[in-house]
Structure 1
């Protein structure tokens, strides 16, 4: 079994409150979960209104499938005009790794 994850550091555009931030992030997180077999959530910078950390995780039987999904997720997030993708950190782990 392979486990893959992405951690996105996002800068939000014209957002002036935490309520607006949640309104901007909610559609992104929903779309990720709807379009891909992943779990997604806001994971960092929860008290800042213009920054967001979003985490995505996927589990699959083979490494190539996990990499393909993570690549597609990263492309989708990078293409969203309402966010500036500051960084994307990726991890990949096999269940038998120590």
Structure 2
């Protein structure tokens, strides 16, 4: 069993309030959960309007599959026009 963790730091240029930030993040988290069956949570910078840190987790039998799923999730995040990906890091447990 392989557990993959991905931490992504995001910049939300149009986030002028915490409410706007939450709307963007909720939409993104729902898409990630539905498309990739990932566990997703906001794990940092929760009080900042334009910055967010998300944690994504994936469990599978093979590390290659975990890596592929997390790479595809990062690519999806990069394709969202309302969000800029600042940094991403993938770890295996």
TM range (shorter): over 0.9
Q: 1:26-65 residue pairs with structure 2 within 5 A?
A: 26-65=26-65
Q: Name structure 1 gaps, 5 residues minimum.
A: 94-98
Q: TM-score, normalised by structure 2?
A: 0.96
Moved over 2 A (4+): none
Structure 1 distance, partners of 2:80, 2:14, is 14
Offset at residue 73 of structure 1 (A): 0.5
Shift of 1:84: 0.7
| Structure number with larger C-alpha Rg | 1
Q: Give the aligned CA root-mean-square deviation in angstroms.
A: 0.7
Q: Return 5+ residue gaps in structure 2 as ranges.
A: none
Question: 1:20-75 CA distances to partner (integer Å, 9 max, x unpaired)?
Answer: 11011100000000000210111110000000001100000111110110111011
